[in-house]
Amino acid sequence: MKTLILAAGTALLSVFAQAAPNAAADPLIVDHIDWTIAPSTGVEPHLRISHASSSSDVSLNGRAEFRAAREALKGGAGPVSFTVAHAAGTLACSGRLTGAFAGAGHCRFSADPRFEAGLAVRGLAPDDRGELVTMLLVDATIDLADGLTREGVKPKDSGDLIAAAALDVTPAYVRELKSDAMVLTDVGDAIACKALDVDGPYVRGLAAAGYRGLAADDVVAMKAMDVSPDYARAMNRARGSGQ
Q: What is the pLDDT of residues 43-56, one digit of tens each?
A: 788 999 999 877 89
Residue 18, pLDDT above cutoff 60: no
> How do residues 142-172 score in pLDDT, each as one tens digit?
999 999 999 999 999 999 999 999 999 999 9
Residue 13, pLDDT above cutoff 60: no
What percentage of residues in the chain have a pLDDT greater than 90? 66
Sign of CA dihedral 229, 231, 237, 242: negative
Residue 27, pLDDT above cutoff 80: no
Residue 10, pLDDT above cutoff 90: no
Q: Averaged over 5-24, what is the pLDDT?
A: 43
First to last CA, the chain: 30
How would residue 179 be classed by pLDDT, with cut points 50, 70 and 90? Answer: confident
Sign of CA dihedral 214, 166, 51, 92: negative
Residue 22, pLDDT above cutoff 90: no
Predicted model pTM:
0.84
> How do residues 53-88 score in pLDDT, each as one tens digit?
778 999 988 889 999 999 999 988 999 999 999 999
- Name the residue with higher pLDDT: 179 or 200: 200
What percentage of residues in the chain have a pLDDT greater than 70? 85
How would residue 239 be classed by pLDDT, with cut points 50, 70 and 90? Answer: low
Mean model confidence pLDDT for the chain? 87
Residue 117, pLDDT above cutoff 50: yes
- Name the residue with higher pLDDT: 2 or 239: 239
CA–CA gap between residue 239 and residue 218 (Å, rounded): 19
Residue 12, pLDDT above cutoff 70: no
Query: What type of residue sits at position 174?
Result: V
Q: What is the pLDDT at residue 240?
A: 57
Residue 184 CB neighbour total at 10 angstroms: 22
